[in-house]
Amino acid sequence: MSSTPSPVWSNPAIKWVDRRMPIFSLMHKELIVYPTPRNLNYWWNFGSLAGIALVILIFSGIFLAMHYVPHEDMAFASVERLMREVNSGWLIRFIHMNTVSLFFLCVYIHIFRGMYYGSYKAPRELLWIIGVIIYFVMVGTAFLGYVLPWGQMSFWAATVITSLVTPIPLVGEELAIWLWGGFGVNNATLQRFFSLHYLLPMVIFALVFLHLWALHTTKSNNPLGVDVKKKADTLPFHPYYTMKDAFGLGVALVVLSYFIFFNPNYFNHSINYVMADPMVTPEHIVPEWYFLPFYAILRAIPDKLGGVVLMFLSILIWMALPWLDRSRVRSGKFRPVFKWFFWVWVADFVLLTWLGAMPAEGTYVTMGQWATAYYFAHFVVILPLLGWFEKTKPVPESISAAVTAGHDKEAAA
Amino acid sequence: MKTLIRIGTAAILATGLSLGGTAAQAAGGHGGPELKHPSWTFDGLFGHYNEDQLKRGWEVYSNVCASCHGLEYMHYRNLKGLGYTEDEVEAIAASFEIEDGPDEWGEMFTRPATVVDPIKEPYENDALAKLANGGAVPPNLSVMTRARDHGPDYVYSLMLGYEAGVPEWVHEEDPEFSVPPGKSFNNYFPGYAISMPQQLFPGIMEYSDGTEATPEQMAKDVVTFLQWAAEPELEKRKDLGRYVLVFLIVFTGVLYAYKREIWKNAH
């Protein structure tokens, strides 16, 4: 904010650097005094948590890559060697494996929070779209990484997912061969997947900076969805939100540590400890839990190409949210009808997750089709219509006014 | 905060329910008996291995399993983790002849194994393994308990799950079912027809520590050994994990108190 005076540095070294490249002033402005709405609730913790999960993944991944051998005959054994012979190798690997789940969990909550509180609405459309792109790259990165240990599920997941391009008219077959570097998933596929799995996290890291840049331009949304109007509406980021985020991080690390140390293979498939065998297809090919809803959408459509298209659309459609949601009120708090539809949609998403883990037969397929239909109906029918028909509740005039009103109510009670 | 706690509780409940569901499904998915679940020393927050039991398990492995199943990725030196001394491990290794070479004349030769050698595989290659076992390759056992759902319970149940004839409940599921020649019926094996014949009978071996070698005892000991082979880091992992959890819980408590202190006039 323009009202914040630039800090005057007294340390000569800091002064020298800052005069030539104002990195300390920048940090002061964006991390210390950065005006943050004073009413952010704990749902706002998950963005920074996701960022920390990304950093943990990159660091543990750098050490994994020092011991991993991207070759079809050696990859599986190199992972076993890492877990058995390398000092704390098991710890590095279990940190990496389990933090992926934490990362996806945080990002899902972060996305749903944005949906509930209308964080995608003007002027935050670009911030939101960059976020969806980050999610897209995450999906790709996680998929590539899951292939690297070269277990049975690695190999067959790679086969199923890369085959998704084959129904594309005219070029599909050619495209698959080009992706594989052969006539099926093979050593060349593994090597390129390793290369890309190392590259994409850096891309995510760069995108996160764009995401933060856009965020610090438009500033955070808040549970009331009203714009920050005066100084009393905000608190400096430090110490208020640094402390709140630190506490949230502590809770997340307790949960993460439980899985790393006491249930490290909980999110894994046991069959992935059987080395990849192109001659033996596993009974059920199931992706990781964070892909299940989209896997359910893929399988709901009897036509292969249609399934692939819908699966991609199911994420792409998030990008159009700022324009599909016609309501002028941001926060779901003041939208009595939307609120319900939001939770129904979340339930639908959870249902799709469950269906993704079930075999594609009988009632599961029918349920998957209805759940998929509702998933899209929420975006293309319900949200646009709500904007016209919903009678929203009165929105408070400012954040501080709402906070004071809350205090008055408490005092009266 | 309240909503968050409420939703968190709901999520934990839901996970619990679905897990319970999965476990029930895994065990009771067919009409047969449920997976046996003996108490394992390595389960839970304070899980650990018992060295006497690990040594007995190694004796079962080397007397019964080792003629067909290997322990890939493991070396004789790893056996020190069972509680054997350096000398004992050297003696165990030296009892195996392995091929080495070529020497300066270009010839391959055999020599006794040393502690740094990989544990000897029963077959030189998969083709030989298939030839000796009716077309099936006996799987590597060093990751077996990690490579099956409910691994230790599954392997334990499998070892004790043989039946002389085909039980009634199988024919209720599939009246056509019969065990192909060369295979055995096992309650827990997917498809029930397993290539490995029953192995654990009373009196097939004696333990060096004098424990009575009943099939249940041998199954329990060998599964503990296999669990150690699959997760040799388990004790270290859980020891460290307890410190980490206690530290993080206390530290998070401190952070919460400090957060409240900072925020007390800001709401």
Report pLDDT for A410.
67
Cα A80 to the center of its chain, rounded Å: 29
Amino acid at B188: Y
Which of A79, A243, A263 to substitute to test the interface with B, most B CBs within 10 Å?
A243
Q: Is A329 helix (H, G, I), strand (E, B) or coil?
A: coil
Of A43, A90, A273, the CB nearest to B233: A90
Between CA A191 and CA A334 the distance in angstroms is 52
Tokens of A214: 């856009």
Report pLDDT for B23.
40
- Are A169 and A307 in a shared domain? no
- Are A342 and A260 in a shared domain? no
Between CA A92 and CA B39 the distance in angstroms is 29
For the ranges A118-127, A254-263, B22-31, which has the lowest average pLDDT?
Answer: B22-31
Q: Which of B184, B201, B188, B193 is nearest to B154 (CA)?
A: B188
Q: How far is B256 from chain A (nearest CA, A)?
A: 6
Residue of A nearest to B231 (CA): A84
B69 known ligand binder = yes
Cα A69 to the center of its chain, rounded Å: 28
Given a contact cutoff of 8 angstroms between Cβ atoms, the answer to whether A140 and A147 are in contact is no
Cα B171 to the center of its chain, rounded Å: 31
Written as one string, the DSSP assignment of A271-289 is GGGSB--TT---S-----G
Does A345 fall in a domain? yes
Does A121 fall in a domain? yes
Report pLDDT for B6.
59
Between CA A102 and CA A267 the distance in angstroms is 11
Partners of residue A244 in chain B, C-beta under 8 Å: 259, 263
* Mean pLDDT, chain B, integer: 90
Given a contact cutoff of 8 angstroms between Cβ atoms, the answer to whether A109 and A42 are in contact is no
Tokens of A360: 């594609």
Contact B262 A253 (CB under 8 A): no
Does A407 fall in a domain? no
Prediction ipTM score: 0.91
- Are A276 and A213 in a shared domain? yes
The reply to whether the predicted model has a pTM over 0.90 is yes
Between CA A329 and CA A117 the distance in angstroms is 9
Contact B245 A42 (CB under 8 A): no
Between CA A332 and CA A224 the distance in angstroms is 8
Contact B45 A262 (CB under 8 A): yes
- Are A128 and A276 in a shared domain? yes
Report pLDDT for A361.
87
Report pLDDT for A407.
72
Report pLDDT for B25.
42
- Are A112 and A125 in a shared domain? yes
Instruction: With cut-offs at 50, 70 and 90, classify the pLDDT of residue B14.
Output: low
Contact B143 A257 (CB under 8 A): no
Q: Which of A73, A84, A90 is nearest to A191 (CA)?
A: A73
- Are A277 and A360 in a shared domain? no
Stretch B114-141: mean pLDDT, rounded?
94
Q: Which residues contact A249 (CB under 8 A, 6 or more apart)?
A: A48, A49, A52
- Are A213 and A349 in a shared domain? no
Of B142, B245, B252, the CB nearest to A251: B252
Tokens of A134: 């980050």
Contact B72 A77 (CB under 8 A): yes
Q: Are strands B109-112 and A234-236 parallel, antiparallel or unpaired?
A: unpaired
pLDDT of B15 > 60? The answer is no
Given a contact cutoff of 8 angstroms between Cβ atoms, the answer to whether A130 and A57 are in contact is no
Q: Are strands B97-100 and B109-112 parallel, antiparallel or unpaired?
A: antiparallel
Does A2 fall in a domain? no
Residue of A nearest to B190 (CA): A283
pLDDT of A408 > 90? The answer is no
- Are A310 and A258 in a shared domain? no
Higher pLDDT, A198 or B25: A198
- The predicted-structure confidence for B88-105, as pLDDT tens digits, reads as follows 999 999 999 999 999 999
Amino acid at B35: L
Does A413 fall in a domain? no
Which of A153, A270, A346, A408 to substitute to test the interface with B, most B CBs within 10 Å?
A270
- Are A269 and A309 in a shared domain? no
The strand ranges marked E within B54-104 are: 97-100
Q: Is B146 helix (H, G, I), strand (E, B) or coil?
A: coil
Between CA B30 and CA A18 the distance in angstroms is 71
Amino acid at B176: E
- Are A273 and A307 in a shared domain? no
Between CA B137 and CA B128 the distance in angstroms is 9
pLDDT of A196 > 50? The answer is yes
Q: What percent of chain A has pLDDT over 90?
A: 93
C-alpha neighbours within 13 Å on the C-beta side of residue A342: 18
Counting the structural domains of chain A, the total is: 2
Secondary structure of A36-104 in HEC code, one letter for each residue: EECCCCHHHHHHHHHHHHHHHHHHHHHHHHHHCCCCCCCHHHHHHHHHHCCCCHHHHHHHHHHHHHHHH
- The predicted-structure confidence for A144-170, as pLDDT tens digits, reads as follows 999 999 999 999 999 999 999 999 999
- Are A98 and A126 in a shared domain? yes
Given a contact cutoff of 8 angstroms between Cβ atoms, the answer to whether A316 and A134 are in contact is no
B267 known ligand binder = no
Sign of CA dihedral B206, B207, B211, B214: negative
Contact B248 A253 (CB under 8 A): yes
B75 known ligand binder = no
**A interface residues, B as partner, C-beta within 8 Å:** 38, 41-43, 77, 80-81, 83-84, 90-91, 94, 235, 239-240, 243-244, 246-247, 250-251, 253-254, 257-258, 260-262, 264-265, 270-271, 273-274, 283, 354, 403, 407
Between CA A36 and CA A240 the distance in angstroms is 9
Report pLDDT for B134.
87
CATH number assigned to the domain comprising residue A56: 1.20.810.10
Does A22 fall in a domain? no
Between CA A392 and CA A344 the distance in angstroms is 19
Tokens of A150: 């070269």
Does A24 fall in a domain? no
Does A94 fall in a domain? yes
Cα B28 to the center of its chain, rounded Å: 21
pLDDT of B227 > 50? The answer is yes
Tokens of A385: 């219509």
Range of the domain at A166: 37-282
Q: Spell A16-32 as b/e; 16+ CB within 10 A means b.
A: eebeeeeeebeebbeee
- Are A312 and A241 in a shared domain? no
pLDDT of B16 > 50? The answer is no
